[in-house]
Amino acid sequence: MREGLQEIVMPQLAESLVSATIERWLKQPGDRIDMYEPICEINTDKVNAELPSTVTGKLVKILAGEGETVDVGAPICLVETASAGAPAESAPDSGDAAQPQARQAAASDGDEGAAPMSGRYSPAVQRLAAEHGVNLAEVRGTGLGGRITRKDVLNYIESGRASGKPADSRSADPARQPVRSSGLHLSEEPKLPAIEVEAAAPGSGEYFIDVSPLRHTIATRMRQSVTEIPHAWTMIEADVTNLVALRNKLKDEFMKREGINLTYLAFFLKAVINAIKDYPIMNSVWAVDKIIVKRDINISLAVGTEDGVWTPVIKNADQKNIAGLAREIDDLARKTREGRLSLSDMQGGTFTVNNTGSFGSILSQPIINYPQAALITFESIVKKPVVIGDMIAIRSMVNLCLSLDHRILDGVICGRFLQRVKENLESYSIETTTLY
Amino acid sequence: MAVMHYIDAIRLAMEEEMARDEDVFVLGEDVGYKGGVFTTTKGLLEKFGPERVLDTPLAESVIAGAAIGAAMYGLKPIAEMQYADFIFPATNQIISEAAKIRYRSASDWTCPVVIRAPIGGGVFGGLYHSQSVESVFFGTPGLKIVAPYTAYDAKGLLKAAVRDPDPVLYFEHKKCYRLVSGEVPEDDYIVPIGKANVLREGDDITVIGYSLPLHFAMQAAEDLEAEGISSHILDLRTLQPLDKEAILEAVRRTGKVLIVHEDNKTGGVGAEVAAIIAEELLYELDAPIMRLCGPDVPAMPIHAPGEKHFMLNREKLRDAMRQLALY
């Protein structure tokens, strides 16, 4: 390895990202850093990641502080790297470096040779130690050759908390440990807003909630959408009596065979996707001097959680059948609930569908998922008296609400589009519809 | 609920599916008058007649080929390979035809065939009646592969396989036939293909495997419990597609993982499981990923000490699991 000072730069975490924010430094100047060891947590639109070090050495200087937003490619810290022999000489200088201390601890424990594994840390141990700020020199290893095991660290954290040393509450719950995906640490857990009650100011009738990164992103996107896009809104009503009968007939068998729910949403998505195929302009973006029409139909699906709303994407939705869509919906909803969405799950949406009926709404006026051209909602299915010919019948009716970018779309085209969605929905029937 | 042997659960699944759907039929060597060399199909001929229980010539490519053709025309054949060792003449039919027809025809044609084959050793079957053939088919997209360990799963997975719209290889372990028994509901249920199952919960080590070795892992876990070592055991049940989420969850639980199977180590299913863990969970690992598998020798030896050396057992599992726990 090259000797001297090296910069660690902000990597490009995903194609579309231009910058990221430093959430927290896990290493401080003077700390020893191993290759691939997480040095800080960074924060991008809706995704958090730990940044692994690209070099081995000693952290000399932090160039971008916590909360600072850094462009991709810009340096964030300086690391002093040394040739292979050097760390042994420099180790005694850095008194707080973990490894020498571990060796001292082992030596003071008795014969140094009796604990040959005490300085070798597994990835799990290193990560836990970094997350909880544990000095591994203080942990007693019970594994092979005095190795510190993951359980040793967990026990240490547990006992430390009991003796009044508070561990970092944000990562204290092992059940919520984030998923690791292809080398980068994608911790998708939305941070729970820390609720602080203002201390005993008499008569204070308010309290504050920290704005989480997710909340911040939602706020930014919503504001951008309503300020940039001239919204217009329209609604249509469809008769889904046949669809209700069809789904009731198929859902149990489908559950048995596929192990997932056959939701109305899958049928609705298919109806919308087929209508988009007929009116591709719905699948476009305003680019000031031109309109970009997207060939791929990637449906952003609005999925609500306790903390906010996410819009994971069903890619190439036009190439999926109803069963395939049902599976995708189930998969994305589950990933969202479990906080396991990856950056790629969130990218590339061209048109958004929101199943507002799922929380009982019968009418909504949604804000477009910027920079798409339109967003459609599927409201609650409600039984209503309807006039057919000169008779009154009880039919299952549903409202579909469309918000549109009036720079791209006008009433006529949207009316035709909605009419097509309606036709598609109403043409589902037990005789003709297949799931596969 | 009835307690029954693994083999009886398999027979019951076929019987129920044949009664439920007249498109379901079985074919294979000696499956009719003899009722199968292991008695797996015993009684089916009497119950469903010679048109739905076909004794075939000793030609596995014909058994698989005829079954695949019938499946493409809408029937639901259950083809039996008398021993998994004999499946190789049918490999071309399975890999080149059954696995590819949906893809090749853009879903115009499908092939809902089930091919049952008894795998594994431990019955003194020697070179040609003991092989584990999973790895031969494992890397072939288009095939689903299941390998049940419990009697409950043996029935539920076979019923799921019959109803699956695509080809399913059903690998039953012949040593499990009468070694493994358990409660099996006598009504209709399926075990979904693609879902693994936690057999035992624990927090020191994770054992991942399928089929017979899990029997030894469960026994070893009992032994180790007395030593204060708690084992988390995951039954893959389906080998293709692997239940990746369940694998990751099981490993995350302890950070130490042992993968077991009887098929030989090199290029086995465990290699893929290990790769998935290495790709996704490096920073959760607290010990090197460990595998305990059959040795890389051409086949099961035909002498008792050799077979004992080849097969996994309670002691081998216990030693490996303890070694991992102590790491």
Which pair of structure tokens corresponds to residue A190? 């939305």
Same domain, A256 and A178: no
Question: pLDDT tens for residues B274-300?
Answer: 999 999 999 999 999 999 999 999 999
State whether A133 and A41 are in the same domain.
Answer: yes
Q: How far apart are CA A351 and CA A268, in angstroms?
A: 14
- CB–CB contacts below 8 A, A to B: 54
d(CA B317, CA B293): 10
> CB distance from B188 to chain A under 8 Å?
no
Question: Which amino acid type is present at position B80?
Answer: E
Residue A198: HSE in the Cβ half-sphere, 13 Å Cα cutoff: 9
Question: What pLDDT, in 10s, does the model give residues B186-225?
Answer: 999 999 999 999 999 999 999 999 999 999 999 999 999 9
CATH code, domain with A62: 2.40.50.100
A301 Cβ contact partners less than 8 Å away, ≥ 6 residues apart:
A311, A312, A313, A314, A329, A332, A333, A352, A353, A354, A355
| Amino acid residing at A104 | Q
Note whether A284 and A412 are same-domain residues.
yes
Q: What is the pLDDT of residues B312-326, one digit of tens each?
A: 999 999 999 999 999
Residue in A185, A216, A231, A406 annotated catalytic: A406
**A196 pLDDT more than 80:** no
At A15, is the pLDDT very low, low, confident or very high (cuts 50, 70, 90)? low
Judged on CB neighbours under 10 Å (0-12, 13-18, 19+), B55 is middle
Give the residue on A whose Cα is nearest the Cα of B283.
A123
Query: Residue A257: which of B67, B69, B194, B103 has the closest Cα?
Result: B194
Residues in CB range of A93: below 8 A, 6 or more apart = none
Q: Which among A143, A179, A183 has the least Cβ separation from residue B326? A: A143
Pick the residue with more confidence: A248 or A201? A248
Largest CA distance in chain B: 59
Q: Is residue A127 part of a domain?
A: yes
Instruction: Find the angle CA(A287)-CA(A289)-CA(A294) to the nearest 5 degrees.
Output: 40
**pLDDT tens, position by position, A143-167:** 888 899 999 999 998 887 544 444 4
* Min Cα–Cα distance to chain A from B286, Å: 5
Interface contact A61, partner B, CB < 8 A: no
The residue behind tokens 């087929």 is A274
C-alpha A391/C-alpha A389 separation (Å) is 6
Residue B255 in contact with partner chain A when CB distance is under 8 A: yes
Judgement on whether residues A313 and A356 belong to the same structural domain of the protein: yes
Does one domain contain both A234 and A143? no
Residue whose structure tokens are 């010990």: B287
Q: Rounded mean pLDDT of B240-258?
A: 96
Least confident window among A106-115, A171-180, A267-276, B184-193: A171-180
Mean pLDDT comparison of A5-14, A114-123, A211-220, B76-85, highest-scoring range: B76-85
Q: Which amino acid makes up residue A39? A: I
Q: Is the pLDDT of residue A176 over 60?
A: no
Residues A182 and A259 grouped into a single domain: no
pLDDT band at B270 (very low <50, low <70, confident <90, very high): very high
- Helix axis angle for A150-162 and A123-132, nearest 10°, is 20
- pLDDT: which is higher, A259 or B86: B86
Same-domain status, A152 and A238: no
Q: Which residues pair with A13 in a beta bridge?
A: none
A residues 117-136 lying closer than 8 A (beta carbon) to B = 122-127
The Cβ-side half-sphere exposure at B93, using a 13 Å CA radius, reads 25
Task: Return all residues near B163 (Cβ < 8 A) that are at least 6 apart.
Answer: A257, B17, B112, B190
Write the residue in A127, A144, A147 that is nearest to B283 by C-beta. Answer: A127
**Structure tokens given for B210:** 């399928």
User: Domain boundary residue among A149, A169, A187?
Assistant: A187
Task: Indicate whether A193 belongs to any domain.
Answer: no
On chain B, the residues whose CB falls within 8 A of the CB of A180 are 280-284
For residue B105, the chain A residues in CB contact (below 8 A) are none
In angstroms, rounded to a whole number, what is the distance separating the alpha carbons of residues B142 and B33? 34
Q: Which of A303-307, A332-336, B63-67, B228-232 has the lowest mean pLDDT?
A: A303-307
Q: Residue A285: inside a domain, yes or no?
A: yes
- The tens digit of pLDDT for each residue in B120-154 reads 999 999 999 999 999 999 999 999 999 999 999 99
- How high is the pLDDT of residue B88? 97
pLDDT at A112 over 70: no
User: Mean pLDDT in chain B?
Assistant: 96
Residue A94: what pLDDT? 41
Per-residue pLDDT at A88 exceeds 70: no
pLDDT over 60 at A181, yes or no: no
Identity of the residue numbered B278 = A
Dihedral angle sign, alpha carbons of residues A249, A250, A256, A259: negative
B159 vs B165: CA distance, rounded Å: 12
Selecting from B190, B256, B282 the residue whose C-beta is nearest the C-beta of A123 gives B282
Buried b (16+ CB within 10 A) or exposed e, B133-151: bbbbbbebebbbbbbbbbb
**CA-to-CA distance for B194 and A331, rounded, in angstroms?**
14
B204 contact A CB<8A: yes
Residues in chain B: 327
**Res A414 pLDDT > 70:** yes
Kindly indicate the confidence band of residue A12, based on its pLDDT and cuts at 50, 70 and 90: confident
What's chain B's Rg over C-alpha atoms?
19
Question: Is 90 exceeded by the pLDDT of residue A24?
Answer: no
Asked if B195 reaches chain A (Cβ–Cβ under 8 Å), the answer is yes
Cβ atoms of A353 and A267 within 8 Å: the answer is no
Q: What's chain A's average pLDDT?
A: 81
pLDDT above 70 covers a percentage of chain B that reads 100
* A216 flagged as catalytic: no
Residue A212 has pLDDT above 50, yes or no: yes
Residues A18 and A154 in one domain: yes
* Spatial separation of the C-alpha atoms in residues B71 and A295, rounded to whole Å: 37
User: And the tokens for A116?
Assistant: 């040959």
Average pLDDT over residues B36-45: 96
Task: Give CA angle at B286 (B253, B261), nearest 5°.
Answer: 70
Instruction: Give percent of chain A above pLDDT 70.
Output: 80
Q: Is residue A106 predicted with pLDDT exceeding 60? A: no
Amino acid in position A297: I
Indicate the range of A44-48, A283-287, B143-147 predicted with least confidence. Answer: A44-48
* Same domain flag for A101 and A241: no
pLDDT at B19 over 60: yes
User: What whole-number distance in Å separates Cα of residue A96 and Cα of residue A153?
Assistant: 18
pLDDT computed for residue B310 by the predictor: 96
A362 phi and psi angles, rounded to 5 deg: -115, -5
In chain B, residues 93-112 whose CB comes closer than 8 Å to chain A: 107
A147 touches chain B (CB under 8 A): yes
**Chain centroid to CA A271:** 27
Which of A158-172, B47-61, B218-232 bottoms out in mean pLDDT, i.e. has the lowest? A158-172
Chain B residue with minimum CA distance to A52: B283
| Long-range contact set of residues A91-94: C-beta below 8 Å, sequence gap at least 24 | A94/A30, A94/A32, A94/A58
Angstrom distance (rounded) from CA B306 to CA B297: 11
DSSP result, A204-242: ----EE---HHHHHHHHHHHHHHHHS-EEEEEEEEE-HH
Q: Which residues contact B319 (CB under 8 A, 6 or more apart)?
A: none
Q: Which of A150, A327, A332 to substitute to test the interface with B, most B CBs within 10 Å?
A: A150
**Residue A111 annotated to the active site:** no
C-beta atoms of B326 and A150 within 8 A = no
B91 pLDDT more than 50: yes
Tokens of B311: 């097969």
Mutate to test the interface with A, among B21, B191, B283 (most CBs of A within 10 A): B283
CB nearest to B283's CB, from A124, A256, A257: A124
* Architecture (CATH level 2) of domain B2-184: 3-Layer(aba) Sandwich (3.40)
- Which single residue is written with the structure tokens 């003709």? A432
Does residue A168 have a pLDDT over 50? no
For residue A289, give every residue at least 6 positions away whose Cβ sits within 8 Å of its Cβ, in sequence order, or none.
none
* Nearest CB partner across the interface for B286, out of A124, A185, A258: A124
A81 and A173 within one domain: yes
Distance CA A267, CA A17 (A): 34
A293 pLDDT band, cuts 50/70/90, is very high
B205 min Cα distance to partner chain A (Å):
11
* pLDDT band at residue B184 using 50, 70 and 90 as cut-offs: very high
Chain A: residue nearest B110 by CA?
A436
One-letter amino acid for residue A64 of the chain:
A
Residue A195 confidence (pLDDT): 52
Residue B111's pLDDT band, with cuts at 50, 70 and 90, is: very high
**Which residues contact residue B255 at a Cβ distance below 8 angstroms, ignoring those fewer than 6 apart?**
A122, A124, A150, B284, B285, B286, B287
C-alpha–C-alpha distance, residues B41 and B46, integer Å: 10
Please give the pLDDT value at position A46. Answer: 56
Half-sphere exposure of B217 (CA within 13 A, CB side): 32
Whether residue A236 sits in one domain with residue A180? no
Q: For the residues of A283-317, what is the DSSP string, one character each?
A: SEEE-SSSEEEPSS--EEEEEE-SS-EE--EETTG
For residue A244, what is the domain's CATH number?
A: 3.30.559.10
Q: Which residues in chain B have Cβ-Cβ distances shorter than 8 Å to A124?
A: 255, 283-286
Tokens for B130, please give them. 């003991």
Most confident of A21-25, A66-70, A408-412, B212-216: B212-216
Topology annotation, domain B197-326: Rossmann fold (3.40.50)
pLDDT band at A108 (very low <50, low <70, confident <90, very high): very low
Nearest CA in chain A to B159: A257
- Note whether A50 and A116 are same-domain residues: yes
Predicted pLDDT of residue A113: 47
**Residue extents of the structural domains in chain B:** 2-184, 197-326
> What does the alpha-carbon distance between residue B164 and residue B147 come to, in Å, rounded to a whole number?
15
Of the listed B129, B173, B232, B261, which one is catalytic? Answer: B129
In chain B, which residue's Cα lies nearest the Cα of A185?
A: B283
**Count of structural domains within chain A:** 2
- pLDDT at position A114 is 54
Least Cα distance to B85 among B136, B35, B39 occurs for: B136
- With a cut of 70, say whether residue A242 has pLDDT above it: yes
* Band (A16; pLDDT cuts 50, 70, 90): low
**Cβ contact B309:B295 at 8 Å:** yes
pLDDT for B29 equals 97
Range of the domain at A414: 215-426
Would the CB atoms of B107 and A124 count as touching at under 8 Å? no
Q: Is the pLDDT of residue A211 over 50?
A: yes
The whole-angstrom separation of Cα B207 and Cα B210 is 10
Query: In A, which residues are within 8 Å of B195 by CB distance?
Result: 259
* pLDDT of A273 strictly over 70: yes
A182 and B282 in contact by Cβ < 8 A?
A: no
Residue A178 reports pLDDT greater than 70: no
